[in-house]
Amino acid sequence: MKMIAPAADENLKRLLSLRALSVSGQLIAVFVAVFYLDMLLPVETLLYILGALLAWSVFSLWLFKKSHNYTADSFFLQLLVDVISLTAVLYFTGGATNPFAWFLLVPHSVASTLLTRHHVWLMALFTSLAYTLLVFYYQPLQHLDHHMEMGAGGHFKDHVMGMWIGFVLATILLAHFVAGMAESLRKRNELLLEMKEQIFRDERIVALGTLATGAAHELGTPLGTMDIVLHELVLDVKDSSDEAMKSKLAIMQGQIKRCKKVLLGITESVTVDQYDSGQLMAVDEYIKVVISQWRISHLDVELHENVDSLGPAPSLVSDMALTQALINILDNAAQASPAYVAINLAWSNKDIVIEVIDRGPGMSETQLAKLGSDLMSSKEQGLGIGTYLSEASIERMGGTIQWRNGVERGVCVSIKLPLKI
């Protein structure tokens, strides 16, 4: 599981800062205990432990700057190194009798705040095990001027056992409550981020709708003029033997009719209450209607239709937005591969799956990742508005759309629509 890059960067910096502060505090405590409190400590061994921890910190920082691939498991490993190094220091400085033994809770607190419950409970297990070992195995603190040891003997033994019980209970409470609250905060932040993205997308769609309505109003008159002129040209060549000219004029008339129909749909969508209002029809019949509308301007494209499911076809509402989305996707496939376009239809008791496949040159992984989320296109003069609106329309119906490269070549667009039960 990868952590978000900016969060991983900040968390690592904070952890390394906390570690540097901890090492500095331990060095000060060692020198105070030796030179001021006259304690007998293995200073050389302690310096080796703290030096190794600093070297590990420098290596970790270098590795992160080189790869920028920091995961939750890696962060957990950093905290585990802190537990091991602190346990080693405490072993040579009195174990659980050391007044700073509770510092083992710090890595566990960090894990409870930043990591998943799986990591938190593992950290609780490791810290509890480390503290338990320090209760029974350690080198007692000794003074230089006498041989009295600060060990867990007499009534102080009961005090140390009570500290041990309190430490274990504290790790369990941190793992359960703090980790739960941190997980709830992370989920809330993720939900807020999704809502912000949805609001931003809705605002862009509203802006595009406003522009489309204005364009429909402005284009109505020139399209009407072109329709009249084309009709007169058709009459002029009616008795002519030039079949190629007649075919070209017929194609132009079909294109203009399609444009006028689209503009009429945009205008009606502003004046009616329900843009997605339509009739209930079987999904296979609906796909045939969509293909017939698309065929008007793509008579020369080789389209292969396939239905993979058996049994009665489920019904859906002939949504105008869904129709336009499917036509946009078929248009893109036809432009990439005029010689071959396939549309596959399948359904189950839960959803409907529509796939549009072409045999074009395909797209790069970067382009595929941006399709539908950014106003970009693989075509030189395209803006990507069609794919953007297609994804927005399908997601509004509760469905999903995915673009991926084919096994050999081309692009496969997979649309999944849930059945309303």
* The model scores a pTM over 0.85: no
Q: What is the dihedral of CA 289, 292, 298, 304, to 10 degrees?
A: 80
Q: How confident is the model at residue 323 (pLDDT cuts 50, 70, 90)?
A: confident
User: Among 137-146, 221-230, 277-286, 326-335, which is the least confidently predicted range?
Assistant: 137-146
DSSP letter at 177 equals I
pLDDT at 24 over 80: yes
Tokens of 399: 């469905």
Strand pairing category for 400-405 and 341-347: unpaired
The last residue of one of the domains, among 198, 229, 262, is 198
Neighbours of 221 (CB within 10 A): 9
Residue 303 phi/psi, 5-degree rounding, is -110, 130
pLDDT at 351 over 80: yes
User: Among 60-69, 210-219, 393-402, which is the least confidently predicted range?
Assistant: 210-219
Over residues 307-335, mean pLDDT: 82
**Averaged pLDDT of the chain:** 76
Over residues 60-76, mean pLDDT: 78
Q: Find out whether 109 and 174 touch, Cβ atoms under 8 Å.
A: yes
pLDDT at 33 over 50: yes
- Three-class SS of 307-322: ECCCCCCCEEECCHHH
Find all residues with CB under 8 Å of 307, minimum gap 6, and list them.
284, 344, 345, 346
What stretch of H or E contains 70? none
DSSP notation for 21-46: HHHHHHHHHHHHHHHTS-EE--HHHH
The last residue of one of the domains, among 141, 174, 198, is 198
Structural domain count, the chain: 3
Tokens of 69: 């691939």
In 125-181, where do the E strands start and end?
Answer: 141-143, 149-150
Rounded Cα gap, residues 399 and 353, in angstroms: 10
Q: How confident is the model at residue 265 (pLDDT cuts 50, 70, 90)?
A: low
Residue 200 phi/psi, 5-degree rounding, is -65, -40
- Shared domain for 212 and 330, answered yes or no, is no
pLDDT at 372 over 80: no
Over residues 266-279, mean pLDDT: 53
Tokens of 414: 């997979």
Rounded Cα gap, residues 250 and 264, in angstroms: 21
- Shared domain for 191 and 227, answered yes or no, is no
- Shared domain for 229 and 108, answered yes or no, is no
Over residues 71-86, mean pLDDT: 86
- Shared domain for 46 and 149, answered yes or no, is yes
The fraction of the chain above a pLDDT of 70, given in percent, is 74
Q: Find out whether 374 and 389 touch, Cβ atoms under 8 Å.
A: no
- Shared domain for 264 and 284, answered yes or no, is no
- Shared domain for 243 and 346, answered yes or no, is no
- CATH number of the domain where residue 343 is located: 3.30.565.10
Rounded Cα gap, residues 335 and 362, in angstroms: 12
**Which pLDDT does position 154 carry in this prediction?**
47
**Which pLDDT does position 396 carry in this prediction?**
77
The last residue of one of the domains, among 271, 292, 313, is 271
Q: How confident is the model at residue 206 (pLDDT cuts 50, 70, 90)?
A: low
- Shared domain for 182 and 208, answered yes or no, is no
pLDDT digits (tens, 9 = 90+) for 141-169: 776 655 545 554 544 554 555 566 556 66
Over residues 348-354, mean pLDDT: 87
Over residues 78-88, mean pLDDT: 89
pLDDT at 301 over 50: yes
pLDDT digits (tens, 9 = 90+) for 212-245: 666 666 677 787 788 888 888 888 887 777 788 8
- Shared domain for 396 and 308, answered yes or no, is yes
**Which pLDDT does position 145 carry in this prediction?**
58
Over residues 395-417, mean pLDDT: 84
Q: How confident is the model at residue 177 (pLDDT cuts 50, 70, 90)?
A: low
Find the domain containing 216 and state its range. Answer: 202-271
Taking the CA atoms of 309, 314, 315 and 321 in sequence, report the sign of the dihedral they define.
negative
pLDDT at 200 over 70: no
**Which pLDDT does position 167 carry in this prediction?**
63
- Shared domain for 220 and 309, answered yes or no, is no
User: Among 153-162, 165-174, 184-193, which is the least confidently predicted range?
Assistant: 153-162
- Shared domain for 38 and 150, answered yes or no, is yes
User: Among 2-6, 227-231, 365-369, 374-378, which is the least confidently predicted range?
Assistant: 2-6
**Which pLDDT does position 324 carry in this prediction?**
81
- Shared domain for 246 and 158, answered yes or no, is no
**Which pLDDT does position 158 carry in this prediction?**
47
Q: How confident is the model at residue 273 (pLDDT cuts 50, 70, 90)?
A: very low
pLDDT at 103 over 50: yes
- Shared domain for 189 and 265, answered yes or no, is no
